[in-house]
Amino acid sequence: MKKQAGHHTQEPRKKTNEEIKQDRIARSAAKKAEEARVKAEDEKNSSWDALNSLYSECNELLRQPAVIAPILRNKEIMEQIEDMTDFVRRANILQKDLVAYSHKLAAIHDTHVTKVGLVEGFDQLMQSYEVSVSYQNWMDSFTGVVLSNHFDIMDSIEKATIKATEKRNEAVPEEPKSE
């Protein structure tokens, strides 16, 4: 890319440690959920323990948006949010969705909470299959609805963080360069 007189190109911004941590959490949760899903499929739902493992992975996904909470208390970043009305609307939707998905997950878990070990008989096999499908549908929906909104909110926070950093850097006088 050519530099024009009076213009400079900006190098891509490196991710902050917090952003790297959040990316790792997201990848880890998605990977664990997929591993649990594959494990349940591999075992053909022959074990209630596999469903309990799937429940644990769903619970981990449910906790992922909690990383936003401390950032919302950062006044410097929040002052730089471009469209605060839309941001608050999306944050409220996220909060309501998390409550609703938490209840849905608890309801699925309640269908097998007392069961452990191997699935015995056709009726239990059918029930375990239905529970497995319920968990898979929950994960797909959660990923598409809640995590999608979560990542949109994180994108707004990232942009605000960049603005806040730039504003802070502008306020600091540059040291004279020695020749």
In the block, tokens 């939707």 appear at 93
Q: How many CB atoms lie within 10 A of CB 91?
A: 17
Within a domain: residue 89?
yes
Residue 2: per-residue pLDDT:
45
Within a domain: residue 103?
yes
Within a domain: residue 105?
yes
CB 131 within 8 A of CB 111: yes
Residue 176: per-residue pLDDT:
65
Within a domain: residue 92?
yes
Within a domain: residue 99?
yes
Q: Of 79, 73, 91, nearest to 166 (Cα)?
A: 79
Residue 170: per-residue pLDDT:
85
Angle at the Cα of 144 (from 142 to 145), degrees rounded to 5? 65
- For 44, list phi and psi in degrees, rounded to 5: 50, 40
Strand (E) or helix (H) holding 86: helix 84-110
Within a domain: residue 94?
yes
How many domains does the chain contain in total? 1
pTM value surpassing 0.75 = no
Pull the structure tokens for residue 147.
Answer: 């995590």
Within a domain: residue 102?
yes
* Structural domain range at position 37: 28-162
Q: What radius of gyration, in Å, describes the C-alpha atoms of the chain?
A: 23
Within a domain: residue 20?
no
pLDDT digit of tens for each residue in the chain (179 aa)? 444 555 455 566 777 777 777 777 777 777 777 776 666 565 544 688 899 999 999 999 999 998 898 888 899 999 999 999 999 999 999 999 999 999 999 999 999 999 988 888 899 999 999 999 999 999 999 999 999 999 999 999 999 999 999 988 887 666 666 65
CB 108 within 8 A of CB 134: yes
What single DSSP character describes residue 142? Answer: H
- For 7, list phi and psi in degrees, rounded to 5: -120, 145
Query: What's the CA gap between 63 and 83, in Å, rounded?
Result: 26
Query: What's the CA gap between 104 and 140, in Å, rounded?
Result: 13
In the block, tokens 């096999």 appear at 125
